[in-house]
Amino acid sequence: MIFQLDKKIAFPDPRLGEPDGLFAVGGDLSVDRLLLAYSHGIFPWYSFRNEEIMWWCPMQRFVIFPNEIHISHSMRTLINKDKYRISINEDFNGVIENCSQLRINDEGAWLGEDMKQAYKKLFEQGFAASVEVWDGERLVGGLYGVNLGRAFFGESMFSLVPSASKLALIFLAKLFHLNGGLLIDCQLETPHLKSMGGRFISYDEYMKIISTE
């Protein structure tokens, strides 16, 4: 079942949605609605060329536990070379703009102006974060997402040089684990993320973890 949202900031039970995770359309991208959504494992994902916002909540969640991040031999070698500087929240706008531009011509591209502005507002209010990878003064990779409690909800990443996004994810996992973080929500399975320790858990187990204070 797919529900039509109105102006009221509320969501139906996502367990009643479609098998692929789509369960609602409409509403808006206000800070309050986004915070409510992420606190229940719900996220917006739709082509910015489509006028209607689509809300997803898969019942099988692809996640990385920060203490389980897999660092390959080649990544350890790259880290030990200390070639790149890694920072957090130094250039959120730069990260989200790069993530958008690298995919802007793809069919189904979703990171349009409305989405970018929504996450920039979350960042301004302390609910979103970015990790940047620098080669000198040049931003060459990074990722951003929503940070609520002890969960980080990854949204997008980019690399302008080989393995830059992997460096950003490893940095995030280590820092998040040191600060009590429990889970990184990857949203979608990719070979890249699976190779770094991503695995599926049930929505019920997922909710128990992201609700942990």
| Residue 72, CB-side half-sphere exposure with 13 Å CA sphere | 13
User: pLDDT tens digits for 86-128?
Assistant: 999 999 999 999 998 876 555 556 678 888 999 999 999 999 9
User: What are residue 145's DSSP bridge partners?
Assistant: 129, 154
User: pLDDT tens digits for 5-37?
Assistant: 988 999 999 999 999 999 999 999 999 999 999
User: pLDDT tens digits for 133-155?
Assistant: 999 999 999 999 999 999 999 99
The token duo for 41 is 């494992």
Stretch (H or E) spanning 210: helix 203-210
User: pLDDT tens digits for 150-179?
Assistant: 999 999 999 999 999 999 999 999 999 999
The rounded radius of gyration (Å) of the Cα atoms in the chain is 17
Q: In the prediction, which pLDDT does 82 show?
A: 92
Q: In the prediction, which pLDDT does 101 show?
A: 84
**Which segments of the chain are extended strands (E)?**
3-5, 22-26, 43-44, 54-56, 60-64, 85-88, 128-135, 138-148, 151-159, 183-185, 199-202
Mean pLDDT to the nearest integer, 189-203: 94
- pTM, full prediction: 0.93
User: What are residue 202's DSSP bridge partners?
Assistant: 60
User: What are residue 184's DSSP bridge partners?
Assistant: 64, 152
Q: In the prediction, which pLDDT does 47 show?
A: 77
Say which residues have a Cβ less than 8 Å from residue 198's Cβ, sequence separation at least 6: 62, 63, 64, 186, 189, 190
Q: In the prediction, which pLDDT does 106 show?
A: 58
